[in-house]
Structure 1
Amino acid sequence: MIDVVAGRVIADPVVIAVDGRITAAGPAASTAIPAGARRIDLPGLTLLPGLIDMHVHLSGDPTIGGYRGLEYARSFSSVISTAFAKRTLDAGFTTVRNLGSGGLDDIGLKQAIEGGYVPGPRIVPATYAIGATGGHCDATEFQPEIHVDTPGVADGPDAIRAKVRQLRKMGAEVIKFCGTGGVFSKTTTVGAQQYSQAEMDALVAEAHMLGLKVAVHAHGTAGINAALRAGADTIEHASLADDESFALAKKNGAWFSMDIYDDDYILAEGAKNGVFAESLEKERQIGLKQRQTFQRSVKAGVRHVFGSDAGVYPHGTNALQFAKMTEWGMTPMQAIQAATVNAGEALGRTADVGAIAPGRYADIIAVAGDPLTNIAALQTVAVVIKGGVVHKDARSIAGGTR
């Protein structure tokens, strides 16, 4: 068992759970099993905490890019999100942060999962992503005379504060805003700042007053640093972060959430999926730079969480990013901690998720082999337990026994 808090391995472990939460975890020799307990024996497998992906879009399908989405009913994305939620849980991700969806898809999906109607991970929803008029979180792909409802758009400190309150009322548990341009939006420069310092200050202050964390989409240096000065909790993408960004993040206790795998998928599959040519060009400009920034930030001691941006690439393959994280400077233990104990801390939910430890949910996965020597082992999860309930046991499929 990988103890992600201590950064060590426990041989021959035992984990005890009662009513969905862990009551004890440690070596079998010193952990007494209660009489009458139901046993789940997982010989030859490595146990880890349920993984946490801090940046997903469960209602997004990467094969429907550009204008292709116009072919589908608004309700389509809500329906397919149920399939993507199951794929995500099957892949070992028992908690996700859904950073932006249309039509409150993430709220409905969260309710359906918690009600037992469909399987899926624990969801921390953002509802709509907040953004400036004409910015990355606006609908910029249409001609001006075509009106499109954009419920996340707000300009000016007062309107932004009101929008934060509105999203909290709708069920947001984290606030996501777009601080710079992006890859998939038309007419925006990928690194250009899109909210003023005063606007970012107001947004973060309002969210924090309401007890909400703030995640900011930010590729460009100026936007990253403005968001960090405002007190944002996580920087999503962080592609062009500089030494000042690293210093601000360390000083303020912020986290970087860098989706350094999806460049491979976007450039290989984007054109046939309908992604705008403009977006592919922006990805070619930013992808390698983002990975180089990731490498420098790890060396600088910036704290990282695992954020894949799944929905930009296929759901259920989130773990492909682990190999990129180790290729670009992390140890396997650091990469695993980014998706477990670090993510739990960044969510502000260390009482519930992020480690196999007493008091936390019994969210546990098991993989064949040792991910500390072969991080790719996390791409094939044999067993998924969420809240003490076995959701997936694929050992018989792999030729083993239950």
Structure 2
Amino acid sequence: MRVFRIGTAILMSLLIATACPASGSERPVAVVANDPGGGPGHVAFDHPLVALVGVLLVDGTGGAPVPNQTIVVAGDRIVAIGDSASTPVPDSAHRLDLHGHTVIPGIVGMHNHLHMPGVPLMRHTAPRLYLASGVTTIATAGSADADGEIALAAAVAEGEVPGPRIFQSAPYLTGPGGNAPMFKPGSPEQARDFVRQWAGRGAAWIKLYRHVRPDVAAAAIDQAHALGLRVAGHVCSLTFAEAARMGIDSLEHGLLAATDFVAGKHAGECVSNRASLSELDMDDERVAGLVALLVREGVTLTSTLAIGETHFPHRPQADGRALAAMSPELREAYRARQRRLREDDAGPYRPALFGKMLAFERMFVAAGGRLVAGPDTGRHVLPGFGDQRNFELLVEAGFDVPGAIRIMTANGAETLGIADRVGILRQGLQADLVVLAGDLVREPGAIARPVLVFKQGTAFDPAPLLEQVRGRVGGRARP
């Protein structure tokens, strides 16, 4: 695929020299896949100058949506944003009349695996699904095939595979009693060696998993930070408070993973927290105290509401899009799980607990914490579709649409240290943006209707990307 790379100063000169009013006589161009302008089947068109006219802008800052905006993209940059009545559109631009559409920044997914159970690396399906769904950047938050993931990140960066930019992870680091394929250091020094090894091989994140020993976790965090890596944790042997005091960068899954409220829990012991969460009163001062500690220690909290929802029989499950994308074996596993879920209607996953999950994330943000989001792909929560569902659940939790989009975009970019390039829509930043059919503010479900996805200025058509993965996600044949 060809990406135009022209100096920003030259582009601005071109914009000024060839400008005409957006309401002028140039013919609007419909959004059509595989425009004769060129490009592979998943590239919608290949023009050096594109104008998106008449959109509702939700810019990722959390500010109020702005109607009837024009965005001009030149090469890989946004070179103009403003009111359509006054923003000039060059005669040479590929103009798209997009009244009735919303534009948001490309989603920055922060718990976006490239694997599912039984499939260590979804090299073909996951990158395409993420991109087609409007996800232009991911942090994988744990790898089942770290070398393969690092190679895939390079292939995407070189344009060999369509997909989001990838911040790749080392293999999971756990402890005694943890999952068999995961690394279990026998000492803090072994943990340091592990971190050094994977830093040298190109990993950007270390993922601590449920059974990690406290001394091992502390050593891994310290070594990772010394080498410029970040550390995420799905913790259980550690409480959230213990991990925060060690300096962990992000804690995954929100309240559903916290063992801080388990009475009699011993240090380093991974125990079930379901009873403690079922009994927990969200007005308990311990909840506010934990939130305050996380904020004070600068810990990012990663919302994974989409996968959390799968535990609850009373909640929506897979939709038609997900079922169509699944491989036959994943679809059958989904149906079997649904049968078990219906039989477990009296289990711990009751509506009140789901409400507590949502409330905890609201409390964290209200206290000044940085909340990011990712789907934690698995079960019927597929790459990209799970990110879209996260957005809907954040809105259900009480965040307004601009606030939820900020969580899904700018907050992730800030966490990854790339907020000077992506995460919000502003003149001069990279053109990572998503065109959605409909008014996202009035209809949050429009998040599931991308019609164009721009990544670094290249316009991708979601339709062929989705068709390329139909019936294959979670399968073992060319996953």
Alignment TM class, shorter chain as reference: 0.7 to 0.9
Question: 2:245 corresponds to which residue?
Answer: 229
1:237 offset after TM fit, Å?
A: 1.0
Structure 1 distance, partners of 2:127, 2:462, is 17
Which structure 1 segments of 5+ residues have no match? Answer: 70-75, 140-148, 182-193, 398-402
Structure 1 residues 394 and 86, CA, compared in 2 at 3 Å: closer, same or farther? closer
> Which residue number in structure 2 is paired with residue 387 of structure 1?
456
Output the CA distance in 1 between the equivalents of 2:87 and 2:373: 31
Match of 1:98 among 113, 128, 140: 140
Distance 1:261 1:6, change over 3 A: closer
Contact 1:258 1:294 in 2 (8 A): no
Matched, 1:335 2:404: yes
| Equivalences for residues 157-306 of structure 1 within 5 A | 157-178=188-209, 180=210, 194-196=212-214, 198-218=215-235, 222-238=238-254, 239=256, 240=258, 242-265=287-310, 272=335, 285=348, 289=353, 291-300=355-364, 301=366, 302-306=369-373
| 1:187 corresponds to | none
Q: Structure 1: how far apart are the matches of 2:350 and 2:168?
A: 27
TM-score (norm 1): 0.78
From 126, 131, 144, the equivalent of 1:84 is 126
Q: Take 1:157 and 1:285, find their aligned partners in 2: how far apart are those partners?
A: 36
Give the residue type in structure 2 aligned to 1:261: A
1:54 paired residue number? 110
Distance 1:262 1:272 in 2: 16
Aligned equivalents of 2:310, 2:354: Cα separation in 1: 15
Could you tell me how far 1:236 is from its partner in structure 2?
A: 0.4
Closer, same or farther: CA 267–195 of 1 in aligned 2, 3 Å: same
Which residue pairs with 1:190 in the alignment? none
Deviation of 1:292 after TM superposition, in Å, equals 0.9
Matches within 5 A, 1:311-326: 311-312=378-379, 313-318=381-386, 319-326=388-395
- Displacement of 1:94: 1.0
Deviates further, 363-372 or 100-109: 100-109
**Runs of 4+ displaced beyond 6 Å:** 268-271
**What is the CA–CA distance in structure 1 between the aligned matches of 2:95 and 2:427, rounded to whole Å?**
18
Which SS does the other structure have where 1:384 is aligned?
A: strand
Larger radius of gyration: 2
SS in 2 for 1:55: coil
Task: Quote the Cα distance in structure 2 between the aligned partners of 1:213 and 1:358.
Answer: 29
Instruction: Check 1:132–1:20 CA distance in 2 against 1; reply closer, same or farther (3 A cut).
Output: same
Q: How far apart, in 2, do the equivalents of 1:226 and 1:4 lie?
A: 32
> Conserved in 1, the CA contact under 8 Å of 2:362 and 2:399?
yes
Deviations 1:256-297 (A, max 9, x none): 11212224435668674679x89x98x954686465144134
Equivalent positions of 1:127-146 (< 5 A) are 127-135=170-178, 138-139=179-180
| Distance (Å, rounded) in 2 between the aligned partners of 1:357 and 1:58 | 30
Secondary structure of the structure 2 residue equivalent to 1:102: coil
Contact preservation (8 Å) 1:218, 1:237: no
Asked whether the 8 Å contact 2:68–2:99 carries over to 1, the reply is no
For 2:361 and 2:385, the matched residues in 1 are separated by 25
Using the alignment, how far apart are the partners of 1:25 and 1:155 within structure 2? 55
User: SS of 2:234's equivalent?
Assistant: strand
Alpha carbons of structure 1 residues 290 and 97: separation in structure 2 relative to 1, 3 Å: farther
The total of aligned residue pairs comes to 352
Give the alignment's TM-score, normalised by structure 2.
0.66
CA deviation vs aligned residue, 1:70-107 (integer Å, no higher than 9, x gap): xxxxxx643x4321210111011111111222232321
| Secondary structure of 1:377 counterpart | helix
CA contact (8 A) 1:225 1:244 kept: no
Q: Residues of 1 paired with 2:141 and 2:393: CA distance?
A: 22
Percentage of pairs with the same residue: 28
State how far apart, in whole Å, the 2-side matches of 1:154 and 1:274 are. Answer: 34
Tell me if structure 2 keeps the 8 A contact 1:371–1:378. yes
**Aligned residue for 2:71?**
15
Please give the alpha-carbon distance, in whole angstroms, between the structure 2 residues aligned to 1:287 and 1:99.
28
How far, CA to CA, are the matches of 1:23 and 1:388 in structure 2?
A: 11
Q: Shift of the alpha carbon at 1:16?
A: 2.7
Matches within 5 A, 1:57-72: 57-60=113-116, 65=117, 69=118
